[in-house]
Amino acid sequence: MFYNAAFKRTALQPYDMPLFWAVVGLLAMGLIMVYSSSIAVAELRTTSHSAQHYLFRHAVSLVIAIMASVALFRLPSATWQKAAPILFLVAVVLLLVVLVPGIGQKVNGSWRWIRLGPLGNFQPSELMKLATVIYAADYTVRKAGHMGSLQKGFLPMFLVMLGIAGLLQMEPDLGSTVVIVAIAMGILFLGGLNLRLFLLLLVLVGTGVALLIIYEPYRVLRFLNMDPWVDPLRTGYQVTHALMAVGRGGWFGVGLGESVEKLSYLPEAHTDFLAAIIGEELGAFGILIVLGLFSWVIWRAFSIGWQASLMGRNFQALVAQGVAVWLGAQCFINIGVNLGALPAKGLTLPLMSYGGSSLLVNCMAIALLLRVDYENRLLMRGGRLA
């Protein structure tokens, strides 16, 4: 009753404006904090030595992401469903291409980026997250009558995700693997996967993650040394400096632009550890604002998905809820690492961290979410879908 009443109050609006402005707030805050956190590294590492280097690149990526999102929003959701297998296949091919020397670019020991010349680099694992949302939603709808079957419902999707995980580990990229598997698992569960099969999936995924950790000695060290202060100069270096940044910020921060940790003490301050700089400059209050905005976006995504399911739009419902699982899982891991609750893992803060691939795909995911909401509202007003 409460949900229906809340929805009716805004049903006359063509879009979910509170959701839209929450996303705008995250993007704007991300732009400001990327600039603040990247000034020192831009002056030291770039050939231009310009403090605005990363700000300019992030702003260009944001403009491209917005343009792509507007174009994607204009496509009916039925078009995404038809294109699901093709999009997923393209993402798989790109995961293979990134491993080809001369095309893929190796950074810090990982093959995760495809060179695009003056346009920069593209990270295929980010596209795979979006492709997984659409493909898993389409798969679950097509297999709706077999969600209780091991062979027809569970096994095909499990084998597909196992193959994707294998490709990602050739880069290697455990963080993206965890997020992509979480998306697929979440959509299968929300789509009605048998509880016993879901518990079996949890056991298999847990075992797989454990084996991946054991396979790489540096991962074993990170998980065994959950206290970063045990080895603050090696395995715990990034997390200890992130904790120092957050601790120094206190409740209200030291002030925008006044971070000390961003002065080359905290690696990747403008990407993976942006939340720590937010904590240092804006304090716990700033982190709570970020968490509040993300919580609102995730809650609205689940609500939009629920509304779509009530209208019999199962594919659209699972897409919206898949976006919610994606953002929730990635935010949880990123902020958990920044606060020292999880071992260090290379994942950006969605919609905020520096990184053109991440920003582009995150904005496209929001476009999908807004499109589902737009279609829901159109149908509720008695309109027809194109």
Q: Is the pLDDT of residue 142 over 50?
A: yes
Contact by Cβ (8 Å): 128, 164: yes
Determine the pLDDT at residue 17. Answer: 92
Longest dimension (CA), the chain: 63
DSSP state, 175? H
Q: What's the whole-number average pLDDT of the chain?
A: 87
Determine the pLDDT at residue 86. Answer: 95
Q: Is the pLDDT of residue 180 over 70?
A: yes
For the stretch 265-298, pLDDT in tens is 888 889 999 999 999 999 999 999 999 999 999 9
For the stretch 350-372, pLDDT in tens is 999 998 899 999 999 999 999 99
Report the SS3 class of residue 66.
helix
Q: Look at the alpha carbons of 11, 331, 121, 100 in this order and tell me if their dihedral is positive or negative.
A: negative
Determine the pLDDT at residue 224. Answer: 61
Q: Give residue limits of the domains in the chain.
A: 1-73+238-381, 75-215
Q: Look at the alpha carbons of 206, 126, 292, 320 in this order and tell me if their dihedral is positive or negative.
A: negative
Determine the pLDDT at residue 279. Answer: 95
Q: Is the pLDDT of residue 319 over 90?
A: yes
pLDDT-derived band at 76, boundaries 50, 70, 90: very high
pLDDT-derived band at 1, boundaries 50, 70, 90: very low
Q: What are phi and psi of 271, to 5 degrees?
A: -120, -90
For the stretch 225-263, pLDDT in tens is 666 777 777 777 888 899 999 999 999 999 998 899 998
121-122 β-sheet, strand order: 104-107, 110-115, 121-122
Determine the pLDDT at residue 386. Answer: 66
